Structure 1
Amino acid sequence: MDHEQPPESRDDKPAASDATSVVADDDRAVAPKAGGLMRSGLVVSVMTMLSRVMGLVRDVVIATLFGAGDGADAFFVAFKIPNFLRRLFAEGAFNQAFVPVLSEYATRGSKREVKELLDAVAGSLTAVLALITALAMLAAPWLVWVFAPGFGRDPEKLALTADMLRLTFPYLLLISLTAFAGSTLNTWNRFAVPAFTPVLLNLSLIGAALLLTPLFDEPALALAWGVLIAGGAQLAFQVPFLARLGLLPRPWPDFAHSGVRRILRLMAPALFGVSVSQINLLLDTVLASLLAAGSVSWLYYSDRLVELPLGVFGIAIGTVILPALSRRHAEQSGEHFAAMLDWALRTVLLLGLPAALALSVLAEPLLISLFHYGAMTERDITMAAMSLRAYAVGLVAFMLIKVLAPGFFARQDTKTPVKVGIVAMVANMVFNLILIWPLAHAGLALATALSAFLNAGLLGWLLKKQGVLVFQPGWGRYAVQLLGGCAVMGLGLWWLAPDWQAWLGWSVWTRAAWMAGLVAAGAAVYFAWLAAFGMRLRHFRMTG
């Protein structure tokens, strides 16, 4: 496809390999240094792990104080709507469209051109999202009815959710600007700050649950205030780091800017294609609101556990390869581009397969250790375990989508993932209708998993067909190593773990000690098997 070039991307410009970082000369290119993908991925993984752990602490606090009742259901829906749009716009379509264009400007353009692009994008993004936020706050009751129609049977629950949504929706504007700042930092290989930023959301919600709850007649309203506070804190945290790089924008809407027009063209189809899994999860919420009370919360708690390995492994690898792939595409380095995709696939399978198996084997113990306190009942654990196992089936597919989609977006191809997304979306609805009757909420989770496999399979097949994904030698041996390690680990966990009902009577420290021991033992067995059969860390080194 034709790609519009930055104004100064002529042959007399310095090559990308000659540029190092942001420089004072406005006429020089500003491309960042290439870095090790494994090291960058490890940085993002560690920070994401911290964020996810704090997220689990947050959910323990929420589960203890609110359980799976009406207040919790109302908050989860009120938070899910702007959070879904955040993933769709900010971390989904916007990020996938903005990073390739920004990388191209940084690789081929000058500092002045990069600054003009940042100013125009920041201003245009703010203008659009401010309007959307205002309209959404006015239409809050109708939005709740659309996203959770089952709440319409309970006017008080519907009204409470609408009140919460008016507090949580401005989070979309704030976190989208945060994502803009984070995407810019990622393009310059500053991965740690954006990866740490979500910790502030978790800290804010924990603080709101513990400190603000007594101030409200409806305690769950404190959580909505916590979301709003978190949005401002996350944006403020990243501003100094942008300023240090000399990339702090002066926002001014300019929809006529060539870079903004290109981003908008890329975003339009990407709005759907890159976030199909999130749309599927939202459809689960809509249908779950029509099922037994607590279904929304059961899906939420099980999804939170799946999000831990997905964020730490899948999203982390997807985050570091997108700017790297974008640079390689701008430099027309097809061989390196293909090698990076192959590396990403191997890496997510290395970690995703054992994580999915462990979630399935230890579903009830994990849920008990994290959530069986206060208002959370044994029935809630049993129901959430059903959906957790169903989501775990699709964990590897969720991860593969995160690393295959950048193979299209880095080449500024957003139309192909849309076509794949439409197929997966239709399939998900069919699976929902088939599985919801025999399996209730777990059927919704399984439908999401199956449609994710279809999505990932089609993305991989099309990349292979286009010659972009080229499998490197050694995949047969690699598959045997991974499957053998997973089998040994799974058998070990099944043999070592006590019956899950025994966990119900244990103290929090006993549960934590057992869980830590099981995780350590499983990891030790798995990686010992891989090492015994010749796998080494050096096999995963890759320069971005």
Structure 2
Amino acid sequence: MSAEKPDSEQPVGPKQGSLLRSSGLVGVMTMLSRVLGLARDIVIANFFGAGAGADAFFVAFKIPNFMRRLFAEGAFSQAFVPVLSEYRTTVTPAETRVLINSVAGTLGLVLVLITVVAVAAAPLLTAVFAPGFLDDDIKFGLTADMLRITFPYLFLISMTAFAGAILNSYGNFAVPAFTPVLLNLSLIGSVYFLTPYLDLPVMALAWGVMIAGFAQLFFQLPFLAKLGLLPKPKVNRQHEGVRRILKLMTPALFGVSVSQVNLLLDTILASFLVTGSVSWLYYSDRLSELPLGVFGIAIATVILPSLSRKHASANTGEFSATLDWAVRAVLLIGIPAALALMVLAVPLISTLFQHGALADEDVLMSAQSLRAYAVGLLFFMLIKVLATGYFSRQDTKTPVKVGVVAMVANMVLNLMLVVPLAHAGLALATSLSAALNAGLLWNGLRRQGIYSAQPGWWRFAGQLVGASVMMVALLLWLNPADEYWLSADVWKKIFWMALLCFGGGAVYFVSLFASGVRIRQFRMRD
């Protein structure tokens, strides 16, 4: 609990600094989380492979995780941060704390009610989100049992995201970016320390999710207390700020999370395919999310408070320049990352996951969907940044309209591609719909005059293409055949993977430097 401050006492203010440095800090923390996430997935793959138990857990975890991205990082953060930023600049500190307390109480009550209903209706949710499991009583029952344990994670992680949104608004990006590390540590620890004591060892994963939720929430509370902003929850739906946030959230619930809805549709359809399909999509999705989280989400997280302040001060020139900076930064990393995932799909899956229960067929099948997800990686990253351009202006309706179009396109593409390409067709449909989503968002910003490209784009595009061609050529030359990756021992795989990664990265950045790209070009003040 935090002591109330006098109205004249201002909580610790936001830290001003370079967007590049802030993005780098968030990126480093996120990289640590994603590396541990890969370690977590390696452990899961080694212990449980791609069988019925793994499929059940991935569905049981994906349902609350999907809703987390709606209620937490997605719709809620995009609605809450701009309103909080406006309150901080236009009203007293005491009124800002009243907003925080009211949001904490109202959001918390909604989440508690949803959690209670979901736990009671776990079999129904399982039938809705994985209808293909209905023909397998064991897999269906296991998924429902796991869901009763994993779903409370939605409440815990959403309140964690609420705390993180406050910290981000006050310039503390490192703590929220580090927090996901605790989820990965919890799951890894649960596999090693809980499985020996459970009749069904795979249930340890479900308990690990719940433990992680408590750890992540309580980790952030001291940092809020240091700012003098530790919430005293109060249910107050009539508060002006709460009503505005709820109004902004309603359309944003869909608009900001279209890519997640698309991934969930993949899971539903994959549940009808052969056993292992859900796991193949999961492992490939996890790899594609590494650059998305480290760079795309990191950049979007950092620019949201900055864009919100610039919009509030009517500084349209700096608003457009900041958005342009973010788009260039995404392309700088997104293009080579997507190409590398396509070329190195089998090496990456085999090196990271094929050390235990994962078979050769699982590696090859996961590689197919990884290549398909890689097609859309750049667009997934652009969606995060471009949508922020709307949300920072408290415009949630436009992304919803775009999202509806992309969702319909994804459904149609799923039905067209699932028969000839099976699980890889689902991944490709998601990527193609993401391309449509990003294109429509970009066109809307440009037509409204919100975003205009800064000088030097054609030169920059040529530099990116040249460096990417050099990188791909090196990777194709150095990469052994798939048979090598399926049969080599782990240390040989690690050696070759390190050589490919460092070699490809070195060639890419040296080529950029030789063509005239410099770090100073990406420095921008917040």
TM-score by length of structure 1 reads: 0.95
> 1:63–1:375: 8 Å Cα contact kept in structure 2?
yes
Partner of 2:149: 167
Partner of 1:496: 478
Structure 1 residues 152 and 108: alpha-carbon distance in aligned structure 2, compared to 1, 3 A threshold: same
Q: Which amino acid aligns with 2:112?
A: A
- Give me the whole-angstrom Cα distance separating, in 2, the residues matched to 1:26 and 1:516: 55
Partner of 2:316: 334
Partner of 2:513: 531
Map 1:373-452 → 2, pairs under 5 A:
373-452=355-434
Aligned pair 1:35/2:17, yes or no?
A: yes
Query: How far apart are residue 512 of structure 1 and its match?
Result: 1.6
Deviations 1:310-331 (A, max 9, x none): 0011010011001110111111
Partner of 1:95: 77
Partner of 2:238: 256
> 1:404–1:459: 8 Å Cα contact kept in structure 2?
yes
> 1:79–1:224: 8 Å Cα contact kept in structure 2?
yes
- Give me the whole-angstrom Cα distance separating, in 2, the residues matched to 1:152 and 1:107: 53
Query: How far apart are residue 25 of structure 1 and its match?
Result: 5.1
> 1:431–1:447: 8 Å Cα contact kept in structure 2?
yes
> 2:6–2:94: 8 Å Cα contact kept in structure 1?
no
Instruction: State which of 45, 61, 70 in structure 2 corresponds to 1:63.
Output: 45
> 1:27–1:110: 8 Å Cα contact kept in structure 2?
no
Q: Which shifted more, 496-505 or 334-343?
A: 496-505
Q: Which amino acid aligns with 1:187?
A: S
Query: How far apart are residue 454 of structure 1 and its match?
Result: 0.3
Map 1:262-301 → 2, pairs under 5 A:
262-301=244-283
Deviations 1:425-447 (A, max 9, x none): 00000100111111000000000
Partner of 1:246: 228
Secondary structure of 2:234's counterpart equals coil
- Give me the whole-angstrom Cα distance separating, in 1, the residues matched to 2:10 and 2:295: 36
Partner of 1:202: 184
- Give me the whole-angstrom Cα distance separating, in 2, the residues matched to 1:311 and 1:367: 18
- Give me the whole-angstrom Cα distance separating, in 1, the residues matched to 2:494 and 2:32: 17
- Give me the whole-angstrom Cα distance separating, in 2, the residues matched to 1:334 and 1:519: 40
Map 1:140-159 → 2, pairs under 5 A:
140-159=122-141
5+ residue gaps, structure 2: none
Q: Which amino acid aligns with 2:45?
A: A
Deviations 1:12-66 (A, max 9, x none): xxxxxxxxxx996537697524321000000000000000000000000000000
- Give me the whole-angstrom Cα distance separating, in 2, the residues matched to 1:23 and 1:138: 42
Q: Which amino acid aligns with 1:397?
A: F
- Give me the whole-angstrom Cα distance separating, in 2, the residues matched to 1:485 and 1:33: 35
Deviations 1:199-233 (A, max 9, x none): 00000000001111111111110000000000000
> 1:432–1:444: 8 Å Cα contact kept in structure 2?
yes
Aligned pair 1:308/2:308, yes or no?
A: no
- Give me the whole-angstrom Cα distance separating, in 2, the residues matched to 1:349 and 1:318: 13
Q: Which amino acid aligns with 1:352?
A: G
RMSD (CA atoms): 1.2
Q: Which amino acid aligns with 1:107?
A: T
Q: Which shifted more, 261-270 or 324-333?
A: 324-333
Secondary structure of 2:14's counterpart equals coil
Query: How far apart are residue 543 of structure 1 and its match?
Result: 1.2
Partner of 1:518: 500
Q: Which amino acid aligns with 1:415?
A: K
Aligned pair 1:106/2:88, yes or no?
A: yes
- Give me the whole-angstrom Cα distance separating, in 2, the residues matched to 1:110 and 1:358: 50
Instruction: State which of 63, 75, 81 in structure 1 corresponds to 2:63.
Output: 81
> 1:309–1:352: 8 Å Cα contact kept in structure 2?
yes
Identical positions, percent: 66
- Give me the whole-angstrom Cα distance separating, in 2, the residues matched to 1:388 and 1:367: 9
Partner of 2:162: 180
5+ residue gaps, structure 1: 1-21
